[in-house]
Amino acid sequence: MPRVVMRVNGKEVSGEVEPRTLLVEFLREHLGLTGTHVGCDTSQCGCCVVHLDGRSVKSCTVLAVQCEGAEVLTIEGLARNGELHPIQRAFHECHGLQCGFCTPGMIMSALELLQRHPAPTEPQVRAWLEGNLCRCTGYHNIVRAILQAAEEMRQAPRPAA
Amino acid sequence: MYAFEYHRPASVAEAVRLLREKPEAKLLAGGHTLIPTLKQRLAQPSDLVDLGGIAELRGIREEGGALVIGAATPHGEVETSDLVRRTIPALAHLAGEIGDPQVRNRGTIGGSIANNDPAADWPAAVLGLGATVRTDRREIAADDFFTGMFETALEADEIVTAVVFPRPRRAAYAKFPNPASRYAMVGVFVAETDGGVRVAVTGAAPCVFRLTALERALAANFAPEAVDGVTVDASELNSDIHASADYRAHLVKVMAKRAIASALG
Ligand SMILES: Cc1cc2nc3c(=O)[nH]c(=O)nc-3n(C[C@H](O)[C@H](O)[C@H](O)COP(=O)(O)OP(=O)(O)OC[C@H]3O[C@@H](n4cnc5c(N)ncnc54)[C@H](O)[C@@H]3O)c2cc1C
Ligand code: FES
Ligand code: FES
């Protein structure tokens, strides 16, 4: 079986994987990073979004072997020294989740939006979330949370996540 | 997914060699059509040849007044490219309407046109601008490239390396997206080029096609009203759970008008 080496949340990791192993399976089953969820497994719902070399991707639609040498960031990599990332905190404060199943993907998707557009408009936030489905919240508080996090991150920027 | 072997060649020549050695091999680009297909066990390639490690396939540049987009360039890179926005903004707009941000971060123009899904967006731009598809061995005119539903002029071991878009005088794309999938229920690309007016329609029929009656009408009068005098024949169009052929025929005219209005700025 091929051996794959990548950096996940800043640490070098490796594993023997079948070529058909998905990135999300590698994260959850080989590394035990179960914060990244699988909702649909058909590239639709966005529960599995992580960052791959700085871009948000659906990790159910990437093979682990394609990530050789890559930099991966998952929801587990966001908090620093036990302190939540501003987007995580805003989801908590704005009631941006109910069951929480979609939340890791929502937050990782929102992170790329705010890296590219530090001051998004509400329609921009809604359009960006096209690939993230939530069965519970009706999206409204998710959008509020992202706008609040944007504001906070503009005022107190922290070094790149 | 059935098991397969994985290869990550560093050059196009090596990728072609692998395809020749392994007759059941398939190319892997962004994987946003192929991986879902493999998950459903609708295909069983023996090997995947990943184009992701071939630097020469990625990037956007100008070449003698034309815009050249490397086959493995993701949609999102086209959407946000300053060069594309300056030279052919309709392409940045079209790329930005594909799927969602995560699909655009992975899916590529080469994968999209090689797949030739009847509802894909890129085929409309390639045909609408009269672009040229460059492969490892030849250049194929857009008019000869898209040959039918999920069919192209590509040979089994042929690799798209880039698409060369001539710069139009003006161009625009208007799409009515399927509300669930975001693929085009109908998408119309209009362009006024040095060689005349071109109109390409995607989503409506089994394969992207040119609406020559509208091209003639627009050559005489490049204005939204020109659409009114043109009949779109529904008998050749798709009917499915999303839309009837008559409705698609209607949408073709509505999208055409919007595209023309937007091309006129
Ligand atoms: C949720 C979702 C929504 C989407 N929405 C849209 C949409 O709105 N509009 C739209 O147009 N598309 C949409 N897509 C499709 C997306 O754009 C795909 O990424 C694209 O069609 C295929 O490109 P790829 O790079 O992912 O190719 P792959 O999936 O890697 O490959 C597709 C096929 O092309 C072949 N191939 C790939 N590259 C080459 C090459 N250089 N030369 C020869 N053959 C090659 C492969 O062997 C394979 O058969 C969507 C996909 C998803 C998952
Ligand atoms: S689990 Fe990946 S998109 Fe739904
Ligand atoms: S909070 Fe339950 S799916 Fe979004």
pLDDT class for A156, splitting at 50, 70, 90? confident
Q: What is the DSSP string of A45-57?
A: S-TTEEEETTEEE
Q: Write out pLDDT tens, residues B171-193.
A: 999 999 998 889 999 999 999 99
Closest CA to B133 of B157, B105, B107, B152: B152
- The arrangement of secondary structure in A86-155, i.e. its CATH architecture, is Orthogonal Bundle (1.10)
Closest to A145 in 3D by CA, of A135, A83, A34, A113: A113
List, for residues A56-108, the tens digit of each pLDDT value: 999 999 999 999 999 999 999 999 999 999 999 999 999 999 999 999 999 99
Least distant ligand from the CA of B161? 1
Res. B58: pLDDT tops 90: yes
How many angstroms separate the alpha carbon of residue B161 from the centre of ligand 1?
15
CATH superfamily of A3-77: Beta-grasp domain (3.10.20.30)
Q: How far is B168 from chain A (nearest CA, A)?
A: 29
Instruction: Flag whether pLDDT at A157 surpasses 80.
Output: no
Instruction: State the distance from the centre of ligand 2 to the C-alpha of A45, rounded, in angstroms.
Output: 5
What are the structural domains of chain B? 1-56 (3.30.43.10), 170-263 (3.30.390.50)
Rg (CA), chain B: 18
Q: Is the CB of B4 less than 8 angstroms away from the CB of A20?
A: yes
Q: Quote the pLDDT of residue A130.
A: 96
Q: Which residue has the higher pLDDT, B53 or A161?
A: B53
pLDDT of res. A160 = 56
- Strand-pairing partners, residue B160, are B135
| Interface contact B28-A57, CB threshold 8 A | no
Residue with tokens 């890179």: B77
Q: Does residue B118 contact residue B207 with C-beta atoms inside 8 Å?
A: yes
Torsion angle of the four alpha carbons B141, B143, B149, B150, in this order, in degrees rounded to the nearest 10: 10
Show Cβ contacts of residue A121 under 8 Å, excluding neighbours closer than 6 positions. Answer: none
Tell me the one-letter amino acid at B232: V
- Domain-by-domain residue ranges, chain A? 3-77, 86-155
